[in-house]
Chain A
Amino acid sequence: MGSVTFDGVSKVYPGAKGSPSTVAVDDLSLEVGDGEFLILVGPSGCGKSTALRMVAGLEKISAGEIRVDGERINDVPPRDRDIAMVFQNYALYPHMTVAKNLAFGLRQRKTPRAEVSARVAAVSSTLGLDELLSRRPGQLSGGQRQRVAMGRALVREPRAFLMDEPLSNLDAKLRVQMRAELKKLHHRLGTTTIYVTHDQVEAMTLGERIAVMNAGLLQQIGVPQDVYDRPANVFVAGFIGSPPMNLLRGTVSGTTVSAGVFSFARPGLADGPITIGIRPETFRPTTEAGTVGPSIDLQVDVVEPLGDEVLVHGTLDARAAQSGAEAEDAVLLAETSTRAPVTVRLAPDSRPAPGDRMPLTADPMAVHLFDASSGDAIR
Chain B
Amino acid sequence: MSTTTVDPHALPGETGMVEARRGRWLPFSPWHLILMPMALLMLVPLVWMVITSLETLAQTRRFPPVLWPGQLQFQNYPDALGAAPFPRWFWNTAVVTITVVASNLLLCSLAAYAFARMHFLGKKAIYFLLLATLMVPLQVVLVPTFLIVKQLGLINHLGALIVPNLANVFGIFMLTQFFRTLPIELEEAARIDGASRLKILFTIVLPLSAPALATLAVIQFMWTWNDFLWPLVTLYNEPAYTLQLGLQSFQGSHLTEWNLLMAGNVMSMIPMLVLFIVAQRWFIRGIATQGLKG
Contacts and interface: CB of A to CB of B under 8 A. Distances in A.
User: Do A and B form a real pair?
Assistant: yes
Interface of A: 56-58, 77-79, 81, 83-85, 87, 89-95, 101, 104-105, 108-109, 136-139, 142, 145, 152, 156, 169
B207 A78 contact: no
Interface of B: 183, 185-186, 188-196, 199, 204, 207-208, 287-293
Contacts of B289: 94-95, 136-139
B179 to A, nearest CB: 15
A98 B192 CA distance: 18
B195 A87 contact: no
Given A89-B183, A89-B185, A94 B195 contact: no
A98 to B, nearest CB: 10
Given A56-B192, A78-B192, A108-B193, A91 B208 contact: no
A109 B193 CA distance: 8
24 contacts: A57-B192, A77-B191, A79-B191, A79-B192, A79-B193, A83-B192, A84-B192, A89-B185, A89-B292, A90-B293, A91-B291, A91-B292, A92-B291, A93-B204, A94-B292, A105-B192, A108-B194, A108-B195, A108-B199, A136-B289, A137-B289, A138-B290, A152-B189, A152-B193
B208 A95 contact: yes
Given A58-B188, A87-B185, A87-B188, A92 B292 contact: yes
User: What 8 A-B pairs come out closest when comparing CB atoms?
Assistant: A138-B289, A94-B291, A92-B291, A108-B194, A137-B291, A105-B193, A91-B185, A79-B194
* A85, A91, A152 pick with most chain B CB within 10 angstroms: A91
A24 B291 CA distance: 29
B288 A89 contact: no
B291 A90 contact: yes
Given A93-B186, A95-B208, A85 B291 contact: no
B239 to A, nearest CB: 44
Contact of A145 (B186, B193, B291): B291
A77 B196 CA distance: 10
Nearest to B182: A94
Contacts of B196: 79
A99 to B, nearest CB: 14
A207 to B, nearest CB: 23
A332 to B, nearest CB: 34
A126 B251 CA distance: 74
A53 to B, nearest CB: 8
Nearest to A104: B193
B208 A94 contact: yes
B213 to A, nearest CB: 13
A133 to B, nearest CB: 15
A143 to B, nearest CB: 11
B287 A85 contact: no
Contacts of B287: 94
A84 B290 CA distance: 22
Nearest to B288: A138
Nearest to A80: B194
A151 B264 CA distance: 59
A220 to B, nearest CB: 29
Contact of B192 (A85, A101, A139): A85
Contacts of A105: 192-194
* B191, B208, B287, B293 pick with most chain A CB within 10 angstroms: B293
Contacts of B185: 87, 89, 91
Contacts of A90: 291-293
* A83, A104, A156 pick with most chain B CB within 10 angstroms: A104
A104 B199 CA distance: 11
Given A85-B192, A138-B288, A138-B291, 10 more contacts: A58-B191, A58-B192, A87-B189, A89-B185, A91-B188, A104-B195, A105-B192, A108-B199, A138-B290, A152-B193
A109 B194 contact: yes
A56 B185 CA distance: 12
Contacts of A94: 186, 208, 287, 289-292
* A90, A93, A137 pick with most chain B CB within 10 angstroms: A93
A146 to B, nearest CB: 9
A91 B194 contact: no
B189 A91 contact: yes
A80 B189 CA distance: 13
A85 B196 CA distance: 17
A104 B208 contact: no
Contacts of B293: 89-90, 142, 145, 169
B203 to A, nearest CB: 8
A139 B207 CA distance: 18
Contact of A104 (B183, B190, B290, B292): B190
